[in-house]
Amino acid sequence: MDLIPLATMQTEGDDVDPNEIVMTKSAASLAEIQTMVVSSGVPNKTIYLQGKVEPDERNISELTARFGGRIEKLFVNFTGQKVKKGEKMATIYSPGLVTAQRELLESISFKDTRPSLYNAASGKLKLWDLNDKQIDNIEKNGEPLVYFDVLSPVSGTVTMRHVTIGDYVKEGTPLFEVIDLNKLWVMFDAYEVDLPWIKTGDKIDFTVQALPGRNFSSKVTFIDPFINNKTRIAKVRLETNNKDGELKPEMFANGLLESKFAENSHEILIPKSSVLWTGKRAVVYVKVPDRENPSFLYREITLGPEAGSFYVVSEGLVEGEEIAINGVFKIDAAAQLSGLPSMMNPDGGKISTGHNHGDSKMTDDEMKNMEVKLESMEFTKVKTPAKFELQLDEFIKKYLQLKDAFVATDVKQVEILAMQALASLKKVDMSLLKGDAHNQWMLLQKPVFDNLNEIIEMADIEMKRSHFSVVSNGLTEIIQTFGNDSETPMYLQFCPMAFDDKGAYWISDKEEIRNPYFGDMMLKCGSVKKVFNE
C-alpha cells in the first residue's frame, strides 16, 4: 500500500478543524486522489433476473375420491391429456354409495311426514359430490346406480394420474391433478440488494431459453415477504397469459427490469469507490473548501440502496459538497497513522508505531518509515478474540461453498455465493481488533472485498475465476495471520496450468484435488502446497 506523507505545515484560520487531513498537492497527485462534487439525481438500476415458468397455484385442482370403491373405468389414460369441465375422468363402483342410495329411496315415502329423514339421506349423497340432477334420476328410476362417474371440476391438463383400473380407493384418496395452463406464473429470483428497486406493478421484459427470438413482458403482481435463509433470495412473481400453450412449466426465463428508486424525487448519488465500509459504518472523506492544500475530513454517512456503480445516500451528505472518489483508502490510512478519526478508529488516537511523539502530526521521515513498515510487514499470526474468530470462520465457510460452485462451473450459484461471502465478510467486526491487528486486517481484507464484488459484477465465468484467485490469495494471508476457528485441516492447493501457466492457488477443506479454475475439464489438476490446522 502506498502511503503518502502528510504535510507538516499548519493551516491557519479560525475555521480550521483540528481533525483535517492536510496533504501537499504533490502528495495528493502521487496518491492519485480524485474528487467530485456531490449532486442529486434520479437513481436508476438495470436488474437482471433469472427464474422459471410455473403453474398458477390458484388453477391447480386435486381430484380426490369422495367415497370409497373400485376403479372400474378410466377415461383419462395418460398424463398431459386435456379435459374440459364436467368431462368424465373415471367410473367407480362403490358399495357404500349403493347403500346410501337405498336409504334415499326408502326415505322418499316419508318425504311429507318426516322430511328430516329425506333431507339427511339426500344431503349425504350431496356431500359425496352427487348433484341434484343425479339425485333426481335415482328417485325417478327407483333403483340405485351401481357405477358413478368422476367428473372434472375444471378445464385443463391432467398433470398427475394416481390410479389405474382395478385400484381400490378410500374416501380422500388422490385420483388426478388437473391444472389450467391458460394462465401461468413466472417466478424470478431477486437478491437482497435488488429488492429495494422492485415494487408491485413494475414491468419486466423476459425471454425463455426454449423460445429464442420471442419476447414477453408482464407486471410484478407479488413479491415474496420472506427471504430464503440459504440462498438469500426472494421470489418475484409475474402473471402471463398462455392461451396458445407456448409457455410450459419449468421453462427457464431471463428477465430485465429497468427500475427507478424514488422516481418522483431526486436523491444524493455517490460512486461506490468513494465509500469505505467497515461492516458497521460507511465512511467518506469530504474535501474542505477554500484551502491552499488539499484537506479532507472524515464523515460517517448512511447509505440507501445500490444503484449500479453508485450508492444512494440517505443521510450525511448534502448537494454541493466535494468528496474523494479515488485514493480514499490512502487518505484513511494516513489519517489512522496520524491519530485522526479514520475508518477503523472513528474517535481518533494514534496507532501503536513504536514512536512516542507528543505531536499528533507525524514528520515526513516518520511517515516514510511507517510506509516501509506496512509494505514489508510479515503477517505473523496474531491473537484474536473468540468472537472475531467465529465471524471469520463463517466467512471461510462461505468461501468454501463459493469454491465448490466454481468447481461445478455453476455461474448462478457463483454469483449467489459470492454475495453471501461478501455479506459474511461485512459482518466481521473489525473493532474487535486492536493495535497492529487493525492495520493488518485493513490491508488484507480490502482486496478480498473488492474482488468478491468483481466476481458478482463480471458476466464471464473465466473473469470471475481470475478474481477468485485474488480472493484465494487474500484469504491465505488472512488465515496465516489471524488463523481460523475450524479444528479440521485446511489445504492450500495449487494449479500450475491456470491462467496461461502462471498458476493459481485456492483453499479447500478436503485433501482431494477438485480444481475450481477448470472444473470438469481438468478436475484433478493441482497439488497440496500447505496444510493449516494440522
Look at the domain 62-174 and name its fold.
OB fold (Dihydrolipoamide Acetyltransferase, E2P) (2.40.50)
Q: What pLDDT is stored for residue 357 in this prediction?
A: 35
- Nearest partner of 215 among 253, 269, 267, judged by Cα: 253
| Integer Cα distance of 137 and 149 in angstroms | 14
Residue 199 grid cell: 415494487
Show Cβ contacts of residue 224 under 8 Å, excluding neighbours closer than 6 positions: 234, 235, 236, 237
Q: 62, 266 in Cβ contact below 8 A?
A: no
- Nearest partner of 389 among 485, 293, 262, judged by Cα: 485
Q: 93, 130 in Cβ contact below 8 A?
A: no
Residue 455 grid cell: 466476481
Q: Which CATH class is domain 47-56+181-260?
A: mainly beta
Q: 204, 255 in Cβ contact below 8 A?
A: yes
Among 1-10, 98-107, 406-415, 432-441, the minimum mean pLDDT is found in: 1-10
pTM of the model as a whole: 0.50
pLDDT at 525 over 60: yes
- What is the strand order of the sheet 156-161 is part of? 60-64, 174-179, 156-161, 82-83
Q: What pLDDT is stored for residue 261 in this prediction?
A: 59
The residue ranges of every structural domain in the chain are: 21-43+265-359, 47-56+181-260, 62-174, 386-532
Cβ neighbours, 10 Å, residue 359: 11
pLDDT tens profile 370-414: 333 333 334 456 778 888 888 899 999 999 999 999 999 998 999
Among 17-31, 50-64, 160-174, 518-532, the minimum mean pLDDT is found in: 17-31
Give the ranges where 459-517 is alpha helix by DSSP (H): 461-482, 498-501
| % of the chain at pLDDT higher than 70 | 87
pLDDT-derived band at 52 (thresholds 50, 70, 90) equals: very high
pLDDT tens profile 99-116: 888 888 888 877 777 888
Q: What pLDDT is stored for residue 349 in this prediction?
A: 61
| Integer Cα distance of 117 and 131 in angstroms | 18
pLDDT tens profile 339-351: 888 877 777 765 4
Secondary structure (3-state) at 311: strand
pLDDT tens profile 126-135: 877 777 787 8
Q: What pLDDT is stored for residue 269 in this prediction?
A: 85
State which amino acid sits at residue 130. Answer: L
Q: What pLDDT is stored for residue 11 in this prediction?
A: 47
The average pLDDT across 452-475 equals: 88
Among 83-97, 122-136, 205-219, 287-301, the minimum mean pLDDT is found in: 122-136
State which amino acid sits at residue 457. Answer: E
Q: What pLDDT is stored for residue 359 in this prediction?
A: 39
Instruction: Write a three-state SS string for 175-227.
Output: EEEEECCCEEEEEEEEEHHHHHHCCCCCEEEEEECCCCCCCEEEEEEEECCCC
pLDDT tens profile 311-368: 888 889 988 899 998 888 788 878 877 788 887 777 776 544 333 333 333 344 444 4
CATH number of 21-43+265-359: 2.40.420.20
